[in-house]
Chains A and B, each alone.
Chain A
């Protein structure tokens, strides 16, 4: 081999091994955030551009992959510095020691007393009542009813509804009324479909669309004191809740069993559906007439209850990964995000704050037409399991609920299957009964 080739080889070797210090030196740290793809994530992506103390990037992943991605990253002891976790993920994240305890930070560096205590407890406190906090509420959320205000105010439609049902047409005050109105619209000539929501079995879509129907009918998913599902879920009340959802599903139009967020937004915006139910976080999709043809015709209402009144809790807390090399910078960023100025920008962009003073502020109440009903809706919120077996329980529930609601399985049979399989999961995970704390 010639000397020239050997020189070239040595040069290549040195070039490959050498890391130029100039490329690694940075003036501000890099911070990464992971959340799921929805409008608030886009809002956060634009908001972080204003933050100068770090280079912040936001990854908005598909909702079905959101939890898997975060926990696969945790398992690899890496991933985003700042994961935004669903309340149900918190138990698993804390049990695995994947997130930093933020109790002192939230009590000393943030206006602790100003946080909505329901949000703080559900999103951040593990176990509930322990006084230990592992996240800061980044967005509070629950579900809203979006309806075609123009139809509800139309005298001919009102008269037809009165004749058909003997009741005045107004945004539904109960789930039974919502069903009756959905059936009326689906059978009428004024609009194609009655009511749509996300009945798809992906992530927690079908579960969060159905859980509050069950709760409002007086049912329960499980008994958290005894970790019992069998005999708690699969009751007559549970069957009524599934049958109610089945009936509403039939008014949603073709392909509703595969409806995710996008299809639900489209259903009301394209003028084919009279009512939908979705998270407040999607509210921005209904106010822009460029992207939503029916934007000027829409009204917003509280999701009704039935025997009692519950609405599924949404929203998430922002945490700091234990594996982050920039934990201090991450805390500084969260402090900035929770500052009054940033929170005002957050709500004006369509976000929902976790702090009462911001929730009650004029800036928030006037930021969107649906914001005034948010506060009322939030008092009815209820959450479900936040134990490490969450994913397995969720998977079982989603599989059979989707089948039952779409009419491919008997309601009682579906609930029995869910109860049996979930009980097996819990019994296997907790052979000695529920954990003491």
Chain B
């Protein structure tokens, strides 16, 4: 019916006036494609291509400076064998991953305990809570390089930390950046100062989401404080805490900027604070062993993927237990 009623109208329009719209070729789809294509090409160029190219380089012997005019030489898995075997580089790789573990485990654990504890204290209404929270969050809002720089000054031999330790407390000064047994703890200290607020923030979000009626029910059953914490608070907050742990572990695992500024490329005396990321940097961008550096980068990537998988499985198991 409708088609029939419009037919006479269509016929009434003179043929000369039926022009094509000026931008009829510019369809919505065309515009969408033209907007997306540069981004996709850029993504391919700056993300996917380097990933594939560095994977190829990891199977070659090549230096971007020394062999710039020659093609990379294919050597199969030799780089991986060298880095994971008994060679000097193999020993160093193992040592760097141990150092990274010695940093990550205590740092994230302390941040978790402190952050959760502070969140428990802040999880109630009191005057000045907003101001206090804002102040506590300041460290994580700063640039890691700036944070490392001012800790570097404070950790100098005659810096403010040693002033308190030696001049005020009368103890022996600490070689924060000069003693090979201490430098890892210096890294941990800076990281804890900077990232405990992050753990606190996530914990606080988790704590504020725990339904009040659970505590009321527990109070009716005369449950003690520890029981309430162990069987209500902790299980309810745990999924969020685990996400925070995943983020912090992955972030701490690839620690570079703070360590670089605080201890230098070699990670301080005897490389005692040289994390895996600093080691990759030294091999790839100081010694310019590009093939070996690429292989090292992929080993780091595999370790972090494995770690993330373990955490995500644990998280999923927790969720399955809860629901």
Give A residues with C-beta under 8 Å from B: 1, 3, 6-7, 9-10, 13, 64, 67-68, 71-72, 74-75, 92, 95-98, 200-202, 253-258, 263, 388, 391-392, 395, 398-400, 402-403, 406, 408-409, 421, 424
Q: Which B residues are in CB contact (< 8 Å) with A255?
A: 156-159, 162, 173, 175, 177-178
User: Could you give, for residues 47-81 of chain B, a 1 whenever the CB lies within 8 Å of some chain A CB and a 0 otherwise?
Assistant: 00000000000000000111011000000000000
Q: Which A residues are in CB contact (< 8 Å) with B156?
A: 255, 258, 263
Q: Which B residues are in CB contact (< 8 Å) with A64?
A: 264-265
Q: A257-B178, A258-B156 are in contact. Are A202 and B65 (CB under 8 A)?
A: no
Q: Which A residues are in CB contact (< 8 Å) with B88?
A: 421, 424
Q: A201-B264, A254-B157 are in contact. Are A68 and B162 (CB under 8 A)?
A: no
The 7 closest A-B pairs by CB, nearest first: A255-B157, A254-B157, A257-B178, A75-B64, A6-B23, A202-B264, A258-B177
Q: How far is the CB of B60 from chain A (nearest CB, A)?
A: 15
Q: Which B residues are in CB contact (< 8 Å) with A75?
A: 64-65, 68, 288
Contact present for A6 and B162 (CB under 8 Å): no
Q: How far is the CB of A4 from chain B (nearest CB, A)?
A: 10
Q: A75-B65, A388-B66 are in contact. Are A409 and B270 (CB under 8 A)?
A: yes
> Which residue in chain B gives the minimum CB-CB distance to A95?
B66
Contact present for A201 and B26 (CB under 8 Å): no
Assembly CA distance A400 to B65 (angstroms): 26
Which among A1, A201, A253, A257 is the interface contact of B266 at CB below 8 angstroms? A201
- B212 touches A (CB below 8 Å): no
Query: Within B174-209, which residues are at the interface with A (CB < 8 Å)?
Result: 175, 177-180
Contact present for A408 and B270 (CB under 8 Å): yes
- B143 touches A (CB below 8 Å): no
- B17 touches A (CB below 8 Å): no
- B28 touches A (CB below 8 Å): yes
Assembly CA distance A395 to B264 (angstroms): 12
22 A-B pairs whose Cβ atoms sit less than 8 Å apart in the complex: A1-B31, A3-B22, A7-B23, A71-B288, A96-B65, A96-B68, A97-B69, A201-B268, A202-B265, A254-B157, A254-B158, A254-B166, A255-B157, A255-B162, A256-B157, A257-B175, A257-B269, A258-B177, A263-B156, A395-B287, A399-B271, A406-B178
Assembly CA distance A402 to B270 (angstroms): 8
Contact present for B158 and A3 (CB under 8 Å): no
Assembly CA distance A255 to B28 (angstroms): 66
Q: Which B residues are in CB contact (< 8 Å) with A67?
A: 286
Contact present for A201 and B68 (CB under 8 Å): no
> Which residue in chain A gives the minimum CB-CB distance to B158?
A254
Q: Which A residues are in CB contact (< 8 Å) with B31?
A: 1, 6, 9
